């Protein structure tokens, strides 16, 4: 969005996008909550205050790079880490809880929340081989047959913490956008002999991100019809 205000601080029903995400995580009993900040990060910090931990991403080098910046905050942590996007405000607490249930299966290293869209343009496609998750292919790297796939990555994940940070050490920028893709960690997890599962969101509105004012207005209208915060209950 063309605005001086950081995207995650744009209001949705009177509350900044990032606040919706943090509140939903907190309702799901996620602790600690680490927020990676970059452009105008001080404004984000002033908005959220001391209720969360902060990590700085001084260069914008992709989703994987953003998560790398959070690693020091999890130095002594051993468990599961949820990765959520600050501009995807409608993921329910119950969805975060379900992801935690799904990854508890023996041998599972990560779970990706997915959604099915009639128009998947711009989203990473979910690729299966013989019915088993294989990889996520970003729009700019997708072959024509992959672009026809309608199941896409919502940008919300849960990882085994050790596999996440070990995997991040091995990813590179050999892709169309020259960025560190977080989904590349899933390939590492599979190579290590662990499974990666998908969790299909019942309502794709949960995975809808905000990049334009039109998208923000659409979510505003949706949440208003759902009686505001009752949407998250």
Domain that holds residue 166: 7-226
Beta-strand ranges (E) seen in the chain are: 11-12, 15-16, 34-37, 53-56, 80-83, 108-116, 125-129, 132-137, 151-160, 195-200
Whether residue 233 lies inside any domain: the answer is no
Residues 6+ apart with CB under 8 A from 190: 109, 133, 134, 196
Whether residue 198 lies inside any domain: the answer is yes
Helical (H) or strand (E) element with 216: helix 213-225
Whose structure tokens read 């047959």?
145
pLDDT at residue 231, rounded to an integer:
57
Whether residue 118 lies inside any domain: the answer is yes
Q: Is the distance from CB of 35 to CB of 48 less than 8 angstroms?
A: yes
Cα 153 to Cα 114: distance, rounded to the nearest angstrom: 5
Comparing CA positions, the residue from 194, 174, 172 lying closest to residue 64 is 172
Whether residue 173 lies inside any domain: the answer is yes
User: What's the number of domains the chain is made of?
Assistant: 1
Structure tokens belonging to residue 221: 């209208």
Helical (H) or strand (E) element with 232: none
Using alpha carbons, list the distances in angstroms from residue 137 to 36, 49, 63, 89: 24, 36, 14, 23
Q: Is the distance from CB of 167 to CB of 193 less than 8 angstroms?
A: no
pLDDT at residue 136, rounded to an integer:
96
Whether residue 130 lies inside any domain: the answer is yes
Whether residue 232 lies inside any domain: the answer is no
Whether residue 187 lies inside any domain: the answer is yes
DSSP conformation letters of 43-66:
HHHHHHGGGSEEEE--S---HHHH
Q: What is the CATH number of the domain that holds 88?
A: 3.90.550.10
Cα 191 to Cα 111: distance, rounded to the nearest angstrom: 15
Whether residue 1 lies inside any domain: the answer is no
Q: Is the distance from CB of 25 to CB of 229 less than 8 angstroms?
A: no
pLDDT at residue 3, rounded to an integer:
78
pLDDT in tens, the chain (233 residues): 667 899 999 999 999 999 999 999 999 999 999 999 998 999 999 999 999 999 999 999 999 999 999 999 999 999 999 999 999 999 999 999 999 999 999 999 999 999 999 999 999 999 999 999 999 999 999 999 999 999 999 999 999 999 999 999 999 998 888 999 999 999 999 999 999 999 999 999 999 999 999 999 999 998 888 765 555 55
Q: To 10 degrees, the CA torsion angle through 98, 100, 105, 110?
A: 110
């Amino acid at each position: 969005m063309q605005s001086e205000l950081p995207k995650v601080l744009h209001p949705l029903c009177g509350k900044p996008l990032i606040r919706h995400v943090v509140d939903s995580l907190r309702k799901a009993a996620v602790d600690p909550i680490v927020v990676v900040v970059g452009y105008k990060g001080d404004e984000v910090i002033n908005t959220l205050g001391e209720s969360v931990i902060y990590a700085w991403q001084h260069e914008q080098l992709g989703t994987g790079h953003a998560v790398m910046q959070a690693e020091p905050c999890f130095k002594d942590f051993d468990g599961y880490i949820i990765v959520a996007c600050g501009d995807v405000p409608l993921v329910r607490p119950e969805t975060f809880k379900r992801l935690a249930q799904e990854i508890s299966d023996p041998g599972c290293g990560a779970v990706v929340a997915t959604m099915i869209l009639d128009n998947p343009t711009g989203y990473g496609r979910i690729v299966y081989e013989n019915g088993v998750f294989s990889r996520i292919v970003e729009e700019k790297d997708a072959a024509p047959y992959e672009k026809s796939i309608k199941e896409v990555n919502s940008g919300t994940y849960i990882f085994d913490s050790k596999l996440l940070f070990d995997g991040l050490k091995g990813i590179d920028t050999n892709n169309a956008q020259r960025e560190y893709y977080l989904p590349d960690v899933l390939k590492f997890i599979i190579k290590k002999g662990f499974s990666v599962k998908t969790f299909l969101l019942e309502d794709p509105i949960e995975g809808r991100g905000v990049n334009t004012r039109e998208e923000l207005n659409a979510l505003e209208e949706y949440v208003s019809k759902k009686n505001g915060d009752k949407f998250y209950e």
